[in-house]
Amino acid sequence: MVSLPLDCDFLERTDSFLLLFLSQVHSAWYMVIKCKAAVLWEINKPLSIEEVEVAPPQANEVRIKIVSTGICRSDDHVINGSLVYPTPIILGHEAAGIVESIGEGVTSVKPGDKVIPLFTPQCKQCKACKHPVANLCSANDLTSSKGTLRNGAIRFTCRGKPIHHFLGTSTFTEYTVVDEISVVKIDPASPLEKVCLIGCGFTTGYGSAVKVAKVTPGSTCVVFGLGGVGLSVIIGCKSAGASRIIGVDINKEKFSKAKEVGATECINPLDYQKPIEDVLVEMTKNGVDFSFEVIGRLDTMTAALQSCNNAYGVSVIVGVPPNAQNLSVNPMLLLTGRTWKGAIFGGFKSKDDIPKLVSDVIAKKFKLDPLITNVSSLDKINEGFDMLRSGKSIRTVLIM
Ligand code: CND
Ligand code: ZN
């Protein structure tokens, strides 16, 4: 916790009014906060709105008042069991908020700062953080799936039971506690009800195009899956100067929005007799320069790979695949010269890059508005998930 200078010398020098004030502030900092949160007690069940206790932040931890949080398909992957995490758990990883209190040793944020929690942390010490390009900090909880803070701690309790953290963030709650490496200060002018999308969807998609694939001017791209992340890939392809951007989705309701953000054409695999990769190779005379799988299915990952040019195409896996399933591919697909890669969080180094992306939003370099189709409240979170599953929403943002 923030240590106030309550040593003996200080006590003697300080008048009683100031001391009373300081002790009240001090105890407020140590207080457990009771607030509302959406708890997943077990998989394949709706989230339950509960009163939870949020413990104060300990050393190198930060307690955040969440202001807005988006509903991403990765949260749904946990609900349906395709991404495995321990339950009970508080999901949510795409948010913006305000620091409420800080633990001892925290220097990069202070109470009152506007912040974004980071589901991909940046410790700046591990090999990945020190690598010039890599961004998967070894302190991440995606690969370990522990459902705790970095030191194994849990700061949520509900009905007397400890409730797990998700990806070091847990944002479907009015207050959360994160490690300092999992939060970054953003511009005080940030519109918090929108920049939550910088915490996952926009950044993941945009970075997959500009940073991971490194889309080139005049190139042809195909994006499989036109949800919030896929549309953000399209925004990235367009800003990198791609001249042809083909959207692929089995839900044609997604096409108008895809065109609004930059797709030059959209196709539905259900409209064709032959495999969609063959359709794309024909349409583009030997395959696209860059392809992106932004759904999280094994068949579309292979189709995306096969859609790119066999000599120089680059295919990026963005979608999170179902747990414990493997792909079998003919290595010839790669031997001829294709590159197959994937990335978390669009390859961005979170602490370094998020504040810049937020500044770009404030400077109107990108618009997040087309991605936000619904604004709702924490109480209506299950309806928000239903909208995502039925394909009726792109992003629902919950305002807390
Ligand atoms: P969302 O569900 O909004 O979009 C997926 C889209 O795919 C929908 O429009 C579907 O209609 C479409 N679709 C489904 N099946 C098919 C199919 N067979 N062929 C063509 N289209 C299909 O999801 P989202 O945009 O929130 O997330 C997309 C994926 O990205 C998902 O797997 C999520 O978990 C993942 C992701 C990855 C990362 C990362 O860091 N790599 C971060 N966040 C989310
Ligand atoms: Zn996400």
CATH number at residue 241: 3.40.50.720
pLDDT at 29: 54
Does 255 reside within a domain?
yes
Query: What global pTM score does this model have?
Result: 0.92
User: In this structure, what token pair is assigned to residue 317?
Assistant: 């896996």
CA of 241 to the centre of ligand 1 (A): 24
Helix (H) or strand (E) holding 18: helix 16-30
Q: Within 6 Å (CB) of ligand 1, which residues are found?
A: 72-74, 77, 200-201, 204, 224-230, 248-251, 254, 269, 294-297, 300, 318-320, 344-345, 388, 391
Does 295 reside within a domain?
yes
Q: Are residues 221 and 336 in the same domain?
A: yes
Q: How many domains, in total, are found in the chain?
A: 2
User: In this structure, what token pair is assigned to residue 141?
Assistant: 């909880």
Q: Which domain holds residue 236?
A: 205-343
Q: Which of 76, 229, 257 to mutate to test the pocket of ligand 1 (most atoms within 8 A of CB)?
A: 229
Instruction: Answer for the pair 116, 183: CB distance below 8 angstroms, yes or no.
Output: yes
In sequence order, the 6+-apart residues with CB closer than 8 A to the CB of 224 are 230, 248, 249, 291, 292, 293, 294, 295, 300, 303, 304
CA of 159 to the centre of ligand 1 (A): 34
Does 329 reside within a domain?
yes
Does 170 reside within a domain?
yes
Q: Are residues 191 and 92 in the same domain?
A: yes
Q: Are residues 176 and 217 in the same domain?
A: no
Q: Are residues 379 and 316 in the same domain?
A: no
Tens-digit pLDDT string for the chain (400 aa) = 543 333 334 444 444 454 445 444 544 456 999 999 999 999 999 999 999 999 999 999 999 999 999 999 999 999 999 999 999 999 999 999 999 999 999 999 999 999 999 999 999 999 999 999 999 999 999 999 999 999 999 999 999 999 999 999 999 999 999 999 999 999 999 999 999 999 999 999 999 999 999 999 999 999 999 999 999 999 999 999 999 999 999 999 999 999 999 999 999 999 999 999 999 999 999 999 999 999 999 999 999 999 999 999 999 999 999 988 899 999 999 999 999 999 999 999 999 999 999 999 999 999 999 999 999 999 999 999 999 999 999 999 999 9
Does 354 reside within a domain?
no
Does 352 reside within a domain?
no
pLDDT at 5: 37
Cis previous bond, 88, omega within 30: yes
Does 4 reside within a domain?
no
Q: Are residues 68 and 186 in the same domain?
A: yes
User: In this structure, what token pair is assigned to residue 23?
Assistant: 């002790």
